[in-house]
Every structure is written in structure tokens, then in C-alpha cells.
Amino acid sequence: MTRSEMYAATGPSVTNAAPAPSISNAATGTARGRGRVRVLHVITRMVLGGAQENTLLTVTRLDRARYDVTLASGPTTGPEGTLEPRIPNTLSFVRVPELARDPHPAKDPVALARLYRLMRHGRFDIVHTHTTKAGLLGRIAAAWARVPVIVHTPHGHAFHDYLGARGSAALCVVERALARRTTRIICLTDAERDDHLRLRIGPPERFCIIHSGVDLDRFHMGHGDGEHARQKLGLSSDVPLVGCVARLVPVKGVQYLLEAMPAVRAAMPGATVVFVGDGPLRPALAAQAAARGLQRGAVFLGLRDDVAEIMPAFDVVVLPSLNEGMGRAAVEALAAGRAVVASRISGIQDVVAHEETGLLVPPRDPAALADAIVRCLRDPGLRAAFGARGRDSVSRFGVQAMLDDIDGLYRELLGARSDEPSISLG
């Protein structure tokens, strides 16, 4: 059966189809015959975001001589932008039209059925799911399809600041059930793993830590060219600039940064916050900025594909997030030699060392955020020290380190696992 025939049988739409190689043997990691290890990655949507960047790097840069990779995703919708144009034609890409981020009683069973059929026909050796919704449906489908190895990367978790108390409690119950049928859960940081263990999602041996890979060279190359970056943005060279690279959604805490800016500008006249990114909060944030008299103190750049080039424009980069798996923007800022002010939350704490590479403050605290920003803006020596130490601290977050760790994990699990019985959530 060709790859095109396989997808016609399963139902999801497909692009970039190619003939299917022979099926690999999950018990040994070598081919049944002479094929490659077949891996299916499943993610809810390919918007601009850390989870999606991580997934795209993984599926495009794994060793093609060893791995035959397919990517499945639901529709990419929303104002956050899309990574789909960066998916190469050489990669098999499957659209699952009913796979949506929010719970949907009609679409979810259809998406589950489509994923199950895709996995049964594709005879994948590994199914690797990403983010909460794709992880839920994808792991159930993989267990029903008797996929030998099931890997899940939450890319942070949704146990708080997403679903409310009842929703979070229900999610914990579901995640505990799914963890019993998951071969390995990849956490991006120690703190993320510790959160899962504290909530008793699974035993310690079920988890491993693989940092999300960042193309550090792109940000290193832009280091020190702040004047050119400001000229590119049309911003004055003598204005204190506060950068925030984030999706404009509540969980990123961007509203608290905007609340902090009047105090920052009172201490540092002319200080301007620059938001890089887009999202459903943008109209409300623009209205909030106008209401606070920040028409000249807040700039919304929208979606950009040149973040590495403009990062040096900022005197300090702020991540006011309420929840992060790792804080990819923090890694990028440190790689560019920028001082970072961020929320003291799981994930970020493993990236930003307080008083060493930046400052950590309580989440949802505009006053503390303003104080930390002002401290950095007032002290160029402190910013330079944070930036220098930050650049030296991020090598562990490189793309090749991530790929090596994922390859090592796949090899380990392929050599150790055999078929598991179907999942039961009852």
C-alpha cells in the first residue's frame, strides 16, 4: 500500500505524500526487511509557539536515514500565526480536520477515530504526541492501535491557569490514566517534571527531561547590534526599551506587564514596551494602553519572523507568564545577551537564574515587575553582566542537544518495549 493509499483509507487529508517504506521492527529498532523506524508526531495545531517550534524542529531534523516521520495536526486557526509554510514538502503531513484545541463533543470522537485509523493503517513504531489535547486523543488512539512505543511531550502542563479548579482536577484524573499507557513523558525542565510528580500523574521512572531545542546561533549572531535593530523598528536609540515576545493570550501575563508600565515610565521617562506577537488579547491591550496614557509607551509589532534580528534592540526582555513549560523566549533572550525579567514559575526557574542571568518576580504582580524592570534599566552594568552570563548558560538548550536526546530515547524505548493492551479509562 502506498502512503497516499494509506491516508485515503484513514480519512484525514494529506499533503506531501510519498510511497511508504517497509515497516520497522519496534522490538529492535531495525526494519522488518530494510525499512526505517516509523514515527508519527501528533499536535493540535501548528501556530507560532514554543511547542510548535519544538515539534517542527524534531520532525524536520531527525535522522532521515533512520526515521520515517509523519506529522499530524488539526487546523491551524487563530491570530497567533502559523508555522505550516515552514513544513517541507519532503515531510508527510496529515490534516485531521476535527482535531481542535477546545473540547468538542461532536468533533472529538471523530478526531479520535481518524487518529486510530491512521495509526492502524500506518503501523507506526512510535507515536509521539504534543500538547494536552493531542496528547489525550493521540495516546488513546495509539493504545487502541497497539502502537509499541507511546511518547508524550506536554510542553508545560494545563493543571493550573487554564481550566479552573474543576477542570484541572478532571485533567489530573485523565492524565493519571493516560500515563499508565504512556511509555515515556518528556518534560522540558526539572520543575515541570516535579509538578507532574507532586500531582501523582505517574511514577518517576515514567518521566525524562529533554530541553526544548532553540536555534542558538541565530540569536548569537544578532548580539550587540542594538542600534541597527532599533533603526529597523523605527525606534529611537536613546529610549529605554522593554521587549516582550509572546502570544497575546491571558496565560502569558502580558496584561500585567502593561499594568506595570506607568510605574516604569514614572521612574524611567520615555521607557517603551514592545510586544512581539499577536493573539486575541491584542485589541484589549491596545485599549488598556490608551486608557493608561501609554499611546507612546506601548508598541505592538504583531507577528514577526525576524525575532533574532530585533532582539538586540531591547534593554531588557520580560516574560510575565503565569504558566510556562520552559520559556523559549527566555532562552532566546539570554542567547542574544539580553537581561531577563520573568515570573518565578515552573519552567522559567530552570532557565533564568535569579540575580545571575536575570530577575525573577512573583506572577500577577505588576508592582514587583515594575521594580525589577526599573532596576535593570537603571544599571547598564547589571544588564551587561546578566547578558554575558546568560549567553554562557544556554548551550544545553541547543537544537542538536535536543535531537540527540530524542534519538537516544527512541533507541532506548524501541529496544525495551513490546505491544501493550488497549487503554481503559474506566
Tens-place pLDDT, residues 231-260: 989 998 899 999 999 999 999 999 999 999
In the chain, the number of structural domains is 2
Same domain, 277 and 407: no
Query: Can you name the residues that pair with 92 across neighbouring β-strands?
Result: 70
Those residues of the chain that have pLDDT short of 50 are 1-10, 17-34, 418-426
Identify residue 349 by its one-letter amino acid code.
Q
Query: Can you name the residues that pair with 277 across neighbouring β-strands?
Result: 302
423 within domain boundaries: no
367 within domain boundaries: yes
Query: Can you name the residues that pair with 319 across neighbouring β-strands?
Result: 342
Q: Tell me the Cα Rg of the chain.
A: 22
Same domain, 376 and 407: no
Same domain, 24 and 151: yes
Cα atoms in the Cβ-side hemisphere of radius 13 Å centred on 369: 28
Cα three-residue angle 62-68-74, rounded to 5 degrees = 85
Distance CA 373, CA 261 (A): 9
Same domain, 125 and 272: no
Choose among 16, 15, 62, 65: nearest CA to 41: 62
Please give the grid coordinates belonging to residue 404: 540527540
Same domain, 187 and 229: no
Cα atoms in the Cβ-side hemisphere of radius 13 Å centred on 354: 10
Domain membership of residue 174 as a residue range: 3-213+399-416
258 within domain boundaries: yes
Nearest-10 Cα torsion for 402, 408, 410, 416: -150
Whichever domain contains 145, its CATH number is 3.40.50.2000
426 within domain boundaries: no
Distance CA 75, CA 40 (A): 17
Q: Give tens-digit pLDDT for 378-420.
A: 999 999 999 999 999 999 999 999 999 999 999 999 996 544 4
Same domain, 198 and 277: no
Tell me if residue 37 falls in helix, strand or coil.
strand
158 within domain boundaries: yes
Same domain, 185 and 266: no
Tell me if residue 57 falls in helix, strand or coil.
helix
Same domain, 253 and 127: no
Tell me the backbone φ, ψ of residue 125, rounded to 5 degrees: -80, -30
Same domain, 186 and 203: yes
Tell me the backbone φ, ψ of residue 119, rounded to 5 degrees: -70, -40
Distance CA 328, CA 10 (A): 35
Q: At which residue does the C-alpha cell 495509539 appear?
A: 142
353 within domain boundaries: yes
Cα three-residue angle 330-406-117, rounded to 5 degrees = 110
Task: Decide the pairing of beta strands 358-361 and 339-343.
Answer: parallel
422 within domain boundaries: no
Alpha carbon of 267 to those of 232, 235, 381: distances in Å?
Answer: 27, 20, 18
